[in-house]
Amino acid sequence: MTCWNCGAAEPARFCVSCKALQPPVPEYFAFFELAPQLALDEKDLQQRFYGLSRKLHPDLFSRKSPAENEHALEATAVLNDAYRTLRDPIARALYVLKLEGLDVGEQSTKDVPPELLEEVFELNMALEEARMGDADALAQLPGFRVRFEAMRAETDLAVAQVSTAWDATHAKQALTDLRGHLNRRKYITNLIDKTNVPDRV
Amino acid sequence: MFQIEFDNQPDLVVGIDLGTTNSLVAWMNLTQPEVIPGEDGDKLVPSIVSLTEAGELIVGNAARQELIDHPERSIYSVKRLMGRGIEDVRDELKLFPFRIAEGSENVIRVALGDQTFTPPEISAFILRQLKKNAETALDARVTKAVITVPAYFNDAQRQATRDAGRLAGLEVLRLVNEPTAAALAYGLDKRKEGVVAVYDLGGGTFDVSILKLQEGIFEVLATNGDTHLGGDDIDNRLMQIAIEDIQAEWGEGIAHSGEAIQTLRQDVIRVKEALSFAPSVNLEFAWHGKKYQRTITRELFDGLIQDIVDRTLGPCRDCMKDAGVTPEQIDEVVLVGGSTRIPLVRSAVEVLFRARPHTELNPDEVVALGAAVQAGILAGTVENQLLLDVTPLSLGIEMYGGVASKIIHRNSTIPASAGETFTTGVDRQTNVLIHVVQGERELAKDCRSLARFDLKGIDPMPAGFARIEVRFLIDANGILSVTARDARTGKEQTVEVKPSYGLTDEQVEAMIEASIDNAEADYKAAQLSGIRIEADGIMAATEKAMRNKAWLTLTDEERAEVTAAMNRLKVVYCINDHHLIHAQVDILNQATHKLAENMMNTAVQGALQGTKVE
């Protein structure tokens, strides 16, 4: 890599030689100068985010050349996208899975986790009845919601545990477990959303 | 390269609040933002544009009387039409006497007398007046501005505002959200920390934003609002009862007379304003020798507007939810917009946020003051303050089945980006059409259509083989741009944009050209004088550099190149073509790049040698 502006070799975020802002590193952890990790100090991340914003934001480049301005826009877009992803534990976990080549499949929402089968069946019944105007069924929905939210909280706990495990060992099994928990979580979240439907209709 | 010398001079950048009812221009006077009054001494320039019988365009207070005498040649509240399609404004047309001209399918055209204008052109007249006010007061040329927009403005409305700036001969350095600007104005001198809610009830729009202030960073956590709710709606409630009364008392209506409606509107505005300070006010309206009179108590008024005030509370609650804060966590509330003087509004805000609202700054001026602060940030005169704003609406693309797939969620900090990979559905398909929408609804048809992008020039391949990576980027102004590349070849793809509403770039360019042809020769003159000043600067700097010893470090060819570029610039200098001079300035700039660098190195070496401690 050479600096786009002066051609100097191996430029950092800012070229060592001409101080011009360089194109952003696309990998989110590297952008924050962090190693990939699942458990993250969010306060520290925020400080890094503010610090980098103070260096990279397009507001600070409006008097620079159009080319450098463009780089500031690109860099800040990556910064914001990275911060949005890494500060949220779930989005961060999904991102780590992607980095490690273990993408969460699209089909995951359709395959019902077996232990949820009965609950899902009951929820669908209640939803159907609520749609037909059954007041009792409608009254059941908040109850479903509470149960599913409890399940999601449980899953979040499991995600946190397996996260710590992966950070310590980088064991492949931890990531596979993580993917399982995330799929289950996504499924539960969809169920929670479903319990809202009658309100909206 | 010698342009560095100009860069070090702080630019004069003004901040403009382009409001539905009133517009203001402000600047940073050393360390304090200050509103610049017009020639008549008034800081508020009513957003009224009138075309006189003589064909002269007048703006502001001067146009106020014209609006009453010749409503058919005047327009107000044009902001309500910015970036909107004809379908969007049908309801408004019942209450606002906009005269929509023929051929308004894509871009609305409004008639002023026998001429027609688009909303950005009319806004440009207002901006030009503000620019002139600033230039007169500051005795300097103003070519750069920060313009505020409602936080809840969508992409088309933002683009229309930026177009208006360009049409007025202003380089719009940034569009800033109005509530965020207000927070900047409040936070400038007091190093505030904490969570702030900004409640902004303007003439035609309502916005609420929640920000976190920390060490000079103003981070917007969430924003919400309604682009269809404002002080005008409050006026309309008073208008309605008066029109009904008059119909009953006089036996004839006045709704058919634009002149009568305008007079009545000004009467009810006076009543509304007085009611903020008095428990009851007399509404008086005289028309063709007849008189109508009614006492409006605050109680009656509150009853009339209760539902309007209530409509602002939903967005406030949603905003707190999105920001992840409870009312208890809100440290301060800032009120913006003239309508927040209404006691009912104040008490509703106080109850909701459980905090006493700030009113130290004039709610009519606070947005313009904040725009001036942002202008100072961009010009480099205000340091250590940084605004991190969000996009108010989710960005989505239409998928098979009409579902809008969200790719950038609302309340994402901007600039923000998202990438999506598209492929072909049919063998040998060479283009892919992408429909981009903005909004929160599930189906694309219920969201706001932004644009259709045609990805062209895809190599013919079996269906599903093409991989077109499309990158959506929302910039710091909240405006979307799209780029695409073929993932297999790495080739950049052409993205042809068809904005669903608003003007294309070509149309804006054509309008700028047309405005030069018409009475706006001064715009061209300003551009010319600007580029000549730049040319003078670079020529002087180059001549000076030729006498520097660094000149000898260049090769013969490099020296010849500089001399030739210099001579060509001298030749085109006197030609009245801004582009030509600009191009030549750029060439000379390129040619002197190395020279400037060498000079800098020699200077640095000299400085180092001079201070070496050994």
Res A185 pLDDT > 50: yes
pLDDT, tens digit (0-9, with 9 covering 90-100), for B528-555 = 777 888 888 888 888 888 888 888 888 9
**Which of B7, B11, B417 lies nearest to residue A77, judging by beta carbons?**
B417
Distance CA B370, CA B361 (A): 11
Is B178 a residue of the active site? yes
**Which residues of A are less than 8 Å from B387 in CB distance?**
59
Tell me: do B346 and B413 sit in the same domain: no
Q: Which residues contact B406 (CB under 8 A, 6 or more apart)?
A: B394, B395, B396
Distance CA B183, CA B197 (A): 9
Q: Return contacts of B132-135, CB within 8 angstroms, 24+ apart.
A: B133/B25, B133/B36, B133/B37, B133/B38, B133/B39, B133/B45, B134/B14, B134/B25, B134/B27, B134/B36
Tell me: do B22 and B114 sit in the same domain: yes
Specify if B510 maps to a domain: no
**Which residues of B are less than 8 Å from A73 in CB distance?**
415, 473, 475-476
Domain-terminating residue out of B261, B279, B305: B305
**Cα dihedral sign, A183-A188-A194-A200:** negative
Distance CA B217, CA B134 (A): 29
Position A44 confidence tier, pLDDT thresholds 50, 70, 90: very high
Strand partners, B128: none
Res B612 pLDDT > 50: no
Which candidate, A201, A199, A200, A196, places its Cα nearest to that of A123?
A196
Tell me: do B276 and B335 sit in the same domain: no
pLDDT, tens digit (0-9, with 9 covering 90-100), for B155-174 = 989 999 999 999 999 999 99
Is B307 a residue of the active site? no
**Chain centroid offset of residue A98 CA:** 11
CB B82 within 8 A of CB B127: no
- Residue B444 sits in a domain whose CATH number is 2.60.34.10
**Which residues of B are less than 8 Å from A54 in CB distance?**
217, 386
**Which of B11, B173, B415 lies nearest to residue A73, judging by beta carbons?**
B415
Q: Please name the helix (run of DSSP H) or strand (run of DSSP E) that holds residue A70, with its range, or none.
A: helix A66-87
Is B235 a residue of the active site? no
Q: Mean pLDDT over residues B200-219, rounded?
A: 91
Tell me: do B215 and B241 sit in the same domain: no
Classify domain A1-87 at the CATH class level: mainly alpha
The one catalytic residue in B178, B232, B267, B364 is B178
Tell me: do B41 and B128 sit in the same domain: yes
Higher pLDDT, B129 or B597: B129
Res B614 pLDDT > 80: no
**Cα dihedral sign, A65-A71-A76-A79:** negative
Total of domains in chain B: 4
Tell me: do B476 and B606 sit in the same domain: no
CB contact under 8 A, B476 and A80: no
Tell me: do B39 and B15 sit in the same domain: yes
Res B315 pLDDT > 50: yes
Count other C-beta atoms under 10 Å from residue A173's C-beta.
11
> At what angle are helices B578-591 and B521-546 packed, to 10 degrees?
20
Position B4 confidence tier, pLDDT thresholds 50, 70, 90: very low
* ipTM of predicted assembly, 2 dp: 0.85
Res B608 pLDDT > 80: no
Half-sphere exposure at residue B147, Cβ-oriented, CA atoms within 13 angstroms: 29
**A103 near B CB under 8 A:** no
Burial class (CB in 10 A: 0-12, 13-18, 19+), B569: buried
Q: What is the dihedral of CA B181, B182, B188, B192, to 10 degrees?
A: -120
Tokens (6 digits) for B475: 């910039």
- Residue B269 sits in a domain whose CATH number is 3.90.640.10
Domain-terminating residue out of B471, B503, B535: B503
**A95 near B CB under 8 A:** no
Specify if B111 maps to a domain: yes
CB A121 within 8 A of CB A64: no
Count other C-beta atoms under 10 Å from residue B324's C-beta.
10
| Residue whose token pair is 């957003």 | B47
**A107 near B CB under 8 A:** no
Tell me: do B377 and B440 sit in the same domain: no
Tell me: do B380 and B411 sit in the same domain: no
Phi, psi dihedrals of residue A120, rounded to the nearest 5°: -65, -45
Tell me: do B80 and B137 sit in the same domain: yes
**Chain centroid offset of residue B175 CA:** 5
Q: Mean pLDDT over residues A47-61, rounded?
A: 94
Specify if B514 maps to a domain: no
Distance CA B392, CA B479 (A): 11
> At what angle are helices B298-323 and B343-353 packed, to 10 degrees?
30
Burial class (CB in 10 A: 0-12, 13-18, 19+), B599: buried
Q: Which residues contact B521 (CB under 8 A, 6 or more apart)?
A: none
**A58 near B CB under 8 A:** yes
CB B186 within 8 A of CB B373: no
Q: Mean pLDDT over residues A146-170, rounded?
A: 90
SS3 call for B362: coil
Tell me: do B17 and B109 sit in the same domain: yes
Position B10 confidence tier, pLDDT thresholds 50, 70, 90: low
CB contact under 8 A, A57 and B378: no
Distance CA B245, CA B283 (A): 12
**Which residues of B are less than 8 Å from A81 in CB distance?**
416-418
Tell me: do B402 and B414 sit in the same domain: yes
Domain containing residue B496: 395-503
Res A111 pLDDT > 70: no
Domain-terminating residue out of B439, B469, B503: B503
- Residue B588 sits in a domain whose CATH number is 1.20.1270.10
pLDDT, tens digit (0-9, with 9 covering 90-100), for B254-279 = 877 878 888 898 899 999 999 999 99
**Which residues of A are less than 8 Å from B412 in CB distance?**
80, 84
CB contact under 8 A, A73 and B11: no
> At what angle are helices A135-169 and A117-131 packed, to 10 degrees?
150
Res B11 pLDDT > 70: no
Res B496 pLDDT > 70: no
**Which of B380, B414, B415 lies nearest to residue A63, judging by beta carbons?**
B380
Phi, psi dihedrals of residue B431, rounded to the nearest 5°: -145, 155
Task: Give B21 to chain A, closest Cα distance, Å.
Answer: 29
The one catalytic residue in B17, B155, B207, B267 is B17
